[in-house]
Amino acid sequence: MSSVFTQPAHLDVERGDVKSILLVYFLSENVSRDDLDSSLASVLETAGDFFAIYFVECFSRESRVESYLEEGSVIKSRLEKAMHELNEKLWLVEFDHDSKEHRCRNLLCPDNSSSIPLDVVVQASLRELFVQQNGLVHAPQGFHYEKPSELHAQSFMRVTNVLEHYAGPLVLGYWSLSQLCKKDIVKIIVDTSGISVVAYAMVFMAHAWGLIKNPPVIVSCESYGGLGKISISQPEKTLILISATTSGGLRGRLIERRANEENILTLYFLGSQKRDAGSILCDLTRKFADSVNGYEPIMSFPKSSCALCMKHSYAVTLSGDQFAFEPPKIKEIVLVKTDLNDRFALLIDALAGTDFFKVVKMLGGKNSEFFLDFDSLWKADGDSFAPTQSAVEKIKSSFERAVVRYSPISLSKIVYSSYPYSKELAEYALSVLRKTNPIVSPELQGAKEMAASSAKFGAAALVISSVLDDSVELASINRDLRKVQPQGDAAYITTAFMAHSEERVKAIKMNLTYGENGPNTFSFVSLLDLPLPKSYEKHSWIAELDMLHELVQWADESDKKITDQIMQRIKFLSAVPSKGMAEGLFWPSNENMQLKIRSDFVFLTTDGGERDLSQADVFYVISALLHQLRRGVAGRRLIYKPYERSVLSPENFNRFSDGVIQASILRAARDYELSFSNCEGGDLSESMTEIVVSQIDGSKEALMEFLVAISCRRLVVSNENILKIVNKIADKEGLSDSVKLIGGYMYSQFLG
C-alpha cells in the first residue's frame, strides 16, 4: 500500500465555475520526501494547473510537509514548474487537538485565508472517492432493488466499494474524527459490518494521538434487520455510523430506539429530503442541475406501489449492501494477433531490431518502465532489415519537413527538452533550417537556460522533444515561454508521443496550443503516436529488485548460501537505470541461456530467425497488446471490477511456448490480470500451476521468470498450489541453485 494517496477532485464554487483541486493524503507517519515527490510527479505529469493543493497528514502530530517544501527543495521546485502563483495554492489540513475540529492553513503564506470552505473540499474529496470506486450501483436491465427499508429503487449506494480502495477507510475515518473526539464515546454502532473499518480507523487515529483514553466497543446493528437486537443504554456516549441513506429512514428508527440524534453520522447521502438525514459527511446530490459533479437523487418507491414493479422489473432483495445476483463469471482473455492495432503493429515491427525500444531508465528523476532510445534509432546502420531502414528514413524526412513547415517566421531560439537525444535533434533542426536559409541563427537553449533568459516581446521559439512521455516539462516550457516572449509564437515538435490514451493526447495538445487567441494559437506536431501503457510506478524490475533484496536478507537470516547469479542480477538491475536495457530483461534459462525469440513469431517479422530482435522488442509488443485489451478490443476487455472481471488465460502460456514471450506476458501484466487464487472453483489457479510445474519438468526456459512473478505477487495462485510448486522444486534434480533458493524463499513467504 502506498503511503501517499494523491486525489484530483473537482468542486462547484458557483454555477459554471468548477475548480480542479488536488488532495494529498499522508497515510503513514513515515512518509518520506521520496514518497511524496514520486506521488506528486505521477499526478502532475498528466494534470494541469490546480486551483489548490491540500496536504492532509492523517497520522502526524507535527507537519512533515512544511519541511519538505523548504526553499530550493526538489518537491517545491517540481510544484513551481507545474503551477502558477504557488503561494496562494498550498494548504495544510490539520486536526486541532484542542477544538477537536479540522482546520486549514496556508503553507507558504500563513496570513492568507482560503476562499473555499474546508467543508466544500471534504465534500469534493469524498465524492471523488465514491465516483472513482463505482459506489453507485445500477441494476441491470429488467431488475431493480428492494432495499432493507422495503423501498424499491433502480440504484443503491454501496459504500463498501469505496472501502475497497486502500485509502478509503482512513480517509472516511479521518474526516469523521470530530464526532468521536468531542464526546466521551464508549460505543460505536455501525449500520452494516462492512463499514466497521471506518470506525476502527477513527479509533486508531484518535487513540494514537491520545485524544481518547479507552477505545470504544464497535458493534453492527445489521441495518433495519437488527434494530430489535440493538441496545442503546447510554445515548450520549453512543456514536452511530450509517453508511448511506436516501431518506434518513434508518436514522429516524434509531432515534425511536433512544439514539441521540446529534450522535448519528451518515457517511453518504443521495436524496431529495436532506433535512431528515441529520449530520452528513458527504452529500452526493448534484449542487446545480447542469453540474457534472454529483448525482441526481435516487428515486425510491413503496413496495406496494412501485412504478418499477409495474413495468415488470424484477426486484432483487438487498441484505445490508450485498445483493443476491450470482457472482460474475471470470472471462479468460486469450491473446490473438488482431488484438494489436494494425497501424501500430506495422510501426513497432519496422522499428524493432534497432535498440530503439528499451526499458528501465531514469528520466526526470523517475525510474521509467519504458524508454525510447532515439540515439540508437537515428544511427541504425544500412545493413538493417529493409523495412526498418525505410521507416527510419521516413521518420527523418518527416522531421525535416515538420521543422521547415512549423518553425515560426521570426525564430529566435530553439528550445530542447531533457529527454535523451532532444538536444541532438534540436541541433539537427537548426542544420535543416540553414539549408533553406543560411543566415538563420536562432539560439539553442535547454529548458532551464530558456527560463532564465531575458524577456523579448513578440519573439518566437521552436520546442523540440525527442519523446513526449511527461507533459509536466513541456507544460513548464510553455509557461516560461509566455514569460520570456510575451505575445510571441511557439511551435512544438516531438518525434514520438507516448499516447497512453486518446483523452490524454487531446488534453496535452490542447494545453500546449492554447494561447491568447484561443485554441491552436501555437502549433504542435508529433511524428509517431505510440499507444503504450503509462510507465508503472512500481514496474516489474523495481518489484524484482526489492524482492531480491528481501531474498538475500532471508537467506542471511536462514543461513542459506546466496548464489553468484542472484548477486549479479541485483548488481545488474541496480546499474541499469543509468542507461536502460534492450537485453537482460529476463532471467536466463535453467541452463543459463539468454531468452531469444524463435522464428515465426506472430507479432513481429523474424525473417526466418535471421532478424536480430531484442527482448525489449518482444516486451513492447506484448505491452502494447495488453494496453489495447485494457481499452477494449472487439467486445473483449481486460478489466477488474467487483462484478465484472477478466484475467489473462493460462492457455496463453501454452499457445506461446517461447520463454521470451512468456516472460514478456508475466512482466507486462498488471494489477489482477494474472490473479487466479480467488477465481471461483479454483480451476484457473490449478491450470496456471500445471504450467509452472511443466516448466520444472520440461524446458525450464522461463522457469525463473514464473517464480519471480509469483514471489513479487504479480502471478497469484492459491497457497495450496504454491506448495505444489515448492515441493516440485525441492524434489526435482538438475535445477539451478538459484531456482532451489527462490523455492525456499517462496515457502517462507507464503507458507512458513
Computed on alpha carbons and rounded to an integer, the radius of gyration of the chain in Å comes to: 29
Spatial contact of 552 and 530, defined as CB atoms under 8 Å apart: no
Rounded CA-CA distance 283/273 in Å is 11
Asked whether residue 459 carries a pLDDT value surpassing 90, the answer given is yes
Least confident of 59-68, 208-217, 221-230: 221-230
Q: Would you state the pLDDT for residue 1?
A: 61
pTM of the model: 0.63
Annotate 174-234 with three-state secondary structure: HHCHHHHHCCCCCEEEECCHHHHHHHHHHHHHHHHCCCCCCCCEEEECCHHHHCCCCCCCC
Mean pLDDT of the chain: 88
Rounded CA-CA distance 43/32 in Å is 17
Output the CA–CA distances (angstroms, integers) from residue 90 to 53, 113, 129, 461, 639, in the order listed. 5, 11, 21, 32, 36
Query: Using CA atoms in the order 666, 667, 670, 676, what is the torsion angle rounded to 10 degrees?
Result: 20
Measured CA angle at 25 (ends 22, 29), to 5 deg: 155
DSSP-derived 3-state class of residue 626 = helix
338 CB-near residues (< 8 Å, 6+ apart): 633, 634
Q: Would you state the pLDDT for residue 407?
A: 94
224 or 283: which leads in pLDDT: 283
Structure confidence at residue 321 as a pLDDT band (50, 70, 90): very low
Signed CA dihedral, 628, 631, 633, 638: sign only: positive
| Of residues 673, 665, 737, 660, the one with CA closest to residue 699 | 660
Q: Would you state the pLDDT for residue 324?
A: 42
Highest-scoring range by mean pLDDT, 296-305, 515-524, 705-714 = 705-714
Q: Which helix (H) or strand (E) holds 597?
A: none
78 CB-near residues (< 8 Å, 6+ apart): 37, 40, 41, 44, 472
Assign residue 609 a region (left: φ > 0; alpha: ψ between -120 and 50; beta: otherwise).
left
Rounded CA-CA distance 160/494 in Å is 44
Output the CA–CA distances (angstroms, integers) from residue 118 to 15, 121, 122, in the order listed. 19, 5, 6
Q: Would you state the pLDDT for residue 14?
A: 75
DSSP-derived 3-state class of residue 499 = coil
Q: Residue 647 forms beta bridges with which residues?
A: 332
Q: Would you state the pLDDT for residue 501?
A: 80
Rounded CA-CA distance 405/354 in Å is 28
Rounded CA-CA distance 30/40 in Å is 17
Residue 600 is placed in which grid cell?
515465426
Q: Would you state the pLDDT for residue 146?
A: 85
Rounded CA-CA distance 126/172 in Å is 8
Q: Would you state the pLDDT for residue 320?
A: 52
Sheet holding 187-190, edge to edge: 217-220, 187-190, 238-245, 264-269, 279-283
Rounded CA-CA distance 411/434 in Å is 12
DSSP 8-state assignment for residue 682: S
For the chain, give the percent of residues with pLDDT over 90.
Answer: 54
Scanning 410-557, the segments in alpha helix (DSSP H) are 422-436, 447-451, 471-484, 502-513, 540-557
DSSP-derived 3-state class of residue 150 = coil
Helices 564-575, 737-750: inter-axial angle, 10-degree rounding:
80
- Determine the average pLDDT of the residues in 326-341: 81
pLDDT digit string, tens, across residues 533-551: 988 888 999 999 999 999 9
Query: Using CA atoms in the order 534, 536, 537, 540, what is the torsion angle rounded to 10 degrees?
Result: -160
pLDDT digit string, tens, across residues 383-402: 567 788 888 999 999 999 99
- Determine the average pLDDT of the residues in 702-714: 95
pLDDT digit string, tens, across residues 404-442: 999 998 899 999 999 999 999 999 999 999 998 888 889
**Main-chain dihedrals φ then ψ at residue 728, nearest 5 degrees:** -65, -40
Residue 99 is placed in which grid cell?
477544538
Q: Would you state the pLDDT for residue 327?
A: 47
Rounded CA-CA distance 744/738 in Å is 10
Start-to-end C-alpha separation, the chain: 22
Residue 151 is placed in which grid cell?
423501498
| Of residues 69, 62, 75, 124, the one with CA closest to residue 91 | 69
Please report, as a single letter, which amino acid is at residue 470.
D
Q: Which residue has the cell 511557439?
A: 490
DSSP track, 78-121:
HHHHH-SSGGGTEEEEEEETTTTEEEEEESS-TT---SS-HHHH
Spatial contact of 237 and 184, defined as CB atoms under 8 Å apart: yes
Rounded CA-CA distance 618/597 in Å is 8
For the chain, give the percent of residues with pLDDT over 70.
Answer: 95
Structure confidence at residue 381 as a pLDDT band (50, 70, 90): low
Spatial contact of 219 and 187, defined as CB atoms under 8 Å apart: yes
Spatial contact of 162 and 133, defined as CB atoms under 8 Å apart: yes
Scanning 64-115, the segments in alpha helix (DSSP H) are 65-68, 74-82
Residue 71 is placed in which grid cell?
526553499
- Determine the average pLDDT of the residues in 582-599: 93
**Cα 467 off chain centre by:** 21
DSSP 8-state assignment for residue 214: S
- Determine the average pLDDT of the residues in 675-686: 78
**Cα 607 off chain centre by:** 38
614 CB-near residues (< 8 Å, 6+ apart): 352, 353, 355, 357, 582, 583
